[in-house]
Amino acid sequence: DAGVIQSPRHEVTEMGQEVTLRCKPISGHDYLFWYRQTMMRGLELLIYFNNNVPIDDSGMPEDRFSAKMPNASFSTLKIQPSEPRDSAVYFCASSLARRTSYNEQFFGPGTRLTVL
Amino acid sequence: AQSVTQLDSQVPVFEEAPVELRCNYSSSVSVYLFWYVQYPNQGLQLLLKYLSGSTLVKGINGFEAEFNKSQTSFHLRKPSVHISDTAEYFCAVRGTGGFKTIFGAGTRLFVKA
């Protein structure tokens, strides 16, 4: 299994530009999570999906952030317009719901975003 | 709601020495507890988990953790560390009825030769 795949691994952009981060979860997993990691705030859950439907987006910082999951094998996190304070490492994770046991989250390698 | 406090931001230790990384949590409901490890430029990897049963749980790479309900703690230990254990370690908590995992701020373990 290839694990969770994220692209790009690194993104450098200028303030005001649109940024799109991509994630391919592990095949068969039905939960997908987007996290943001910064030195100041640590690891924060932004949003998570179940069967492609957003369940909890309370962690999305503001309207400039949006996430979609058009199908079970692909999700995007978009920032428009981007700002320097959005600079962080963004992680995607996926898990498989099991009725009777814990659902481990598998993390991707992350996308390091730098907004100049 | 749950919260997690990792009491040490950095822990330097010599190779082959024992180490303990401390974690306290708070929750009004039953929880699952986890430790994740993050090596440089990589994603998080599950080290071990407590779901129920025995309060001493063993994980990968020789790590173990003990769940103490009365002290609401879940400290991570290893009797003898290696250089390769240098990484950031995250304690995390999740309510047993939900999917939202709350992570601590992380503890950077630095193993010196």
pLDDT tens digits along A68-109: 999 999 999 999 999 999 999 999 999 987 655 567 889 999
B51: domain CATH number is 2.60.40.10
Tell me which residue of B9, B35, B20, B21 sits closest to B105, measured CA to CA. Answer: B9
pLDDT in tens, A12-59: 999 999 999 999 999 999 999 999 999 888 889 999 999 999 999 999
Do the chains contact at B46 and A105, CB–CB below 8 Å? yes
Contact A111, A89 (CB under 8 A): yes
Residues of B in contact with A42 (CB under 8 A): 103-106
Is residue A29 within 8 A of residue A42, CB to CB? The reply is no
Domain, as residue range, for B12: 2-112
Q: Which of B100, B104, B95 is nearest to B37 (CA)?
A: B104
In eight-state DSSP terms, residue A26 is P
Q: How far apart are the first and last CA of chain A?
A: 36
pLDDT for residue B37: 95
Q: Which residues of B touch A104 (CB under 8 A)?
A: 46, 49
Q: Which two tokens stand for residue B24?
A: 């306290």
**Number of C-alpha atoms within 13 angstroms, CB side, residue B97?**
5
Is A108 an 8 Å CB contact of chain B?
yes
Closest Cα of chain A to B45: distance in Å? Answer: 7
Q: What is the mean pLDDT of chain B?
A: 92
Q: Where are the beta strands (DSSP E) in chain A?
A: 5-7, 10-13, 19-24, 31-38, 42-50, 53-56, 65-71, 74-79, 88-95, 106-107, 111-115
Determine contact: A56 vs chain B, CB below 8 A. Answer: yes
Collect all residues with Cβ–Cβ distance below 8 Å to A93 and sequence separation of at least 6. Answer: A4, A32, A33, A35, A105, A106, A107, A108, B43, B44
Residue B11: its pLDDT value, please?
97
* B85 bridge partner residues: none
Query: Tell me, what's the pLDDT at A109?
Result: 92
| pLDDT for A93 | 94
**Distance separating alpha carbons of residues B64 and B61, to the nearest angstrom:** 9
The tens digit of pLDDT for each residue in B72-100 reads: 999 999 999 999 999 999 999 988 877 78
Check: CB of residue A115 under 8 Å from CB of residue A13.
Answer: yes
Q: Give the tens place of pLDDT for each residue, B33-51.
A: 999 999 988 889 999 999 8
Return d(Cα A89, Cα A77) in angstroms, integer.
Answer: 12
Instruction: Give contacts of A 84-103 with B, CB under 8 A.
Output: 91, 93, 95, 101-103
pLDDT for A102 equals 64
The structural domain count of chain B equals 1
Q: What is the pLDDT of residue A97?
A: 77
